[in-house]
Amino acid sequence: MDKRLQKIAAIEIVVLLAIWQALASLEWIPAYLSSPYVVGSEMWALIVSGELFTNAASSLYRSLVSFLLVMVLGIVLGIAAGFFKPVGIFFQPIVDVLNPVPKIALLPILMVWFGISDTTRILLIFLTAFFPCFIATKDGVHGVKQVFVWAAENMGASKFQILWKVILPASLPKIFDGLRVSLGLTFVMMFSSEMIGSSNGLGLGFMILLADMAGRTDLMFVSVFFIALLGFLFDRILLAVRARLLWWSENRG
Amino acid sequence: MENKTPAIEIEKLGKVYTRGKEEVTAIQEISLKIPEGKFVSIVGPSGCGKSTFLHIVGGFIPKSSGKVRIRGKEVDKPGPDRGMMFQESALFPWKNVFDNVAWGLEIQGMEKSKRDEVVEHYLKLVNLWDFRKNLPSELSGGMKQRISLARVLAFNPDVLLMDEPFGALDAQTREKMQVELQRIWQESNKSVMFVTHDIDEAVFLSDIVVVFSGRPAVVKEIIEIDFQRPRTLDVHKTQEFMDIRNHIWDLLHQEQGTSDEEGM
């Protein structure tokens, strides 16, 4: 990003925090809206005690396992569905029916099946984040220029070589668009999936639930802030990987 | 000459599309022999199926009837015995120029040292060795097509198939490319089947021009062209050239009525 824009963004955040702090100090806003100072010191305490990290680790584990599943299954099945017509036809009705369903609505069923467990949570996150990746990958495959495949066939490439060395790289820009949406959803659903309660008593979403029950909005803000931070961090990691893999592409940015 | 196996032999080739419930005959029945080492162009009114015809010979589109033989061997799938050059650049945008040309050789399992030698040879042949590290997106349309030609020549096909390779280029670049192609073709000694809608291009480049009729396509006339090689662009100004061109022009324009209805 542009250095100047980075500066502006930093200033913006500082100003907003300052306004929040000023409003809180002057008691113009109710106490349950807390203040940056209170939230900051609470966060520091949770960092020092290590509590924040154990909670974050628990949440991250659920998110990243889900995202890994999304990545592998979304890309593999998306490519298969885009390249092999029968596979595409097979998945079409399933995707059409399931994609618009809010996956959280499936929670009761998942809970009957797997209880309040990480399996339930990971499945819920996976079901939500899978579709953007799958659909983008399939679209990406459909968008690959016919002459690329013809040229590869012309040079004697096998079906597998065409998939691996032509279809995959050619649809990679689209795949990354899908992955980015999926990653965002992963973090959104990480929070939702922990609202059902936590089996091990850990998780950033679960922290919010506990803070709510205790009337501790400052703790809630700590957790929200940390989820935002993690979401931002992983989005940046994804963008860095994309820039590396798509160095040849015009829209690597 | 007559006893030799032709480089390309097409026997009663036909193509019927089904569009909805309707059956559309794109190619009626075409038989054609292309002798070894000759440059053969196919011209015809737009939409006559000449490009479809070439794609069938390449094995990219299935035929409805007939046979295609390359050096006597029947084919119906794409293969490295026929090097196809497309109108649109088929270079992989994620590979640089060198790796694009090396791609087919790698697929065919040629070892690296040999591969590098071959790529160097062909990139030098098309005068683009200096651009080996560039991405295709950094090259002009004419350069891209020269790289495409190098890529196709590199895997050493028996015949070259070219589908309006200069169709997207401006008139001046086009003429330069025609002279370049003649030079490269003379060095490589390949048999070429070249599809174009540009009569001048066909006459300038070819030993033989095959004129297709409008849809459904049949061979209307086969014209031999025997200007001395290497030809220069000046050949355009000779009376002989103009006579041949006008003759082909007349042949194509008798068809105008039918081809207009068909559209592109």
Find out whether the peptide bond into B216 is cis, omega within 30 degrees of 0. yes
Residue A150 has a pLDDT of: 96
Q: Say if the ipTM goes beyond 0.95.
A: no
Class of domain A38-250: mainly alpha
CB contact under 8 A, A155 and B84: no
Say which DSSP state B214 is in.
S
Option in A145, A148, A154 nearest B83 (CB): A154
Count of beta carbons in the 10 Å neighbourhood of residue A89: 10
Two tokens, residue B217: 């396509």
The C-alpha angle with vertex A250 and arms to B122 and A74, in degrees rounded to 5, equals 100
User: From CA B103, how far away is CA A205, in angstroms rounded?
Assistant: 50
Say which DSSP state A56 is in.
H
In total, chain B counts a number of residues equal to: 264
User: From CA A170, how far away is CA A36, in angstroms rounded?
Assistant: 47
| Mean pLDDT score across all residues of chain B | 90
| Mean pLDDT across A67-86 | 96
Strand partners, B212: B219
pLDDT tens-digit readout, A85-108: 999 999 999 999 999 999 888 888
Burial string for A188-213 (b: 16+ CB within 10 Å, else e) reads: ebbbbbbebebbeebbbbbbbbbbee
Number of helices and strands (H, E) in chain B? 8, 10
- The structural domains of chain A, with segments of one domain joined by +, span 1-33, 38-250
CB contact under 8 A, A156 and B94: no
Please give the single-letter amino acid code of residue B171: A
In the Cβ-directed half-sphere of B55, how many Cα atoms lie within 13 Å? Answer: 19
pLDDT tens-digit readout, A189-240: 988 888 877 777 788 888 888 888 888 888 889 988 888 899 999 999 999 9
Q: Which of residues 74-93 of B touch A (CB under 8 A)?
A: 77-80, 82-84, 86, 88-90, 92-93
Strands B39-43 and B82-85: unpaired
Q: How far is A165 from chain B (nearest CA, A)?
A: 10
Strand partners, B160: B83, B192
Count of beta carbons in the 10 Å neighbourhood of residue B91: 24
Q: How far is B90 from chain A (nearest CA, A)?
A: 5
Q: Which of residues 150-169 of B touch A (CB under 8 A)?
A: 151-152, 155
User: From CA A81, how far away is CA A192, in angstroms rounded?
Assistant: 30
Residue B255 has a pLDDT of: 61
Band of pLDDT at residue B54, cut at 50, 70 and 90: very high
* CATH number of this structure's domain B1-81+192-264: 3.40.50.300
Residues of A in Cβ contact (< 8 Å) with B155: 155-156
Beta strands in chain B, from DSSP E residues, in sequence order: 8-19, 22-34, 39-43, 65-70, 73-74, 82-85, 159-163, 191-195, 208-212, 219-224
User: From CA B112, how far away is CA B92, in angstroms rounded?
Assistant: 20
B202: enclosing H helix or E strand: helix B199-205
From the list A128, A87, A129, the residue with the least C-alpha distance to A105 is A128
What lies within 8 Å, CB to CB, of B3 at 6+ separation is: none
pTM to 2 decimal places: 0.87
Contact between B113 and B121 under an 8 Å Cβ cutoff? The reply is no
Residues of A in Cβ contact (< 8 Å) with B83: 154
